[in-house]
Amino acid sequence: MEAVRSAGPLPFVLSRVEKERPEIDATVEEFLLAAEGTELRLEVIPVPGARHGFEAVDHTDPARRAVERAARTVLGHLEVGP
């Protein structure tokens, strides 16, 4: 979490699934709290109805849309640069 606080204005894309395992969800929550008030350019993409590893196991429309949105967002950061 310390790295998040000192990362500066880096872009960061986080897909957050609705049915995350509690132990992982706790660390995601810690990360989000650490990112508050920092320069990190964080975009959280909610994935309704999905579970951890959704991109490989949940072949649903919301999962597909989340993957497409994340890919577009990352590509957008690459095209724009810092």
pLDDT in tens, 19-59: 999 999 999 999 999 999 899 999 999 999 999 999 888 88
Q: Which residue's entry shows tokens 């204005």?
A: 9
Nearest to 65 by CA among 44, 82, 79, 45: 45
Q: What is the pTM of this model?
A: 0.83
Confidence band for 4, pLDDT divided at 50, 70 and 90: confident
pLDDT of 80 above 70? no
Could you give the CA distance from residue 35 to residue 57 in angstroms, rounded to a whole number? 29
The per-residue pLDDT for 6 is 83
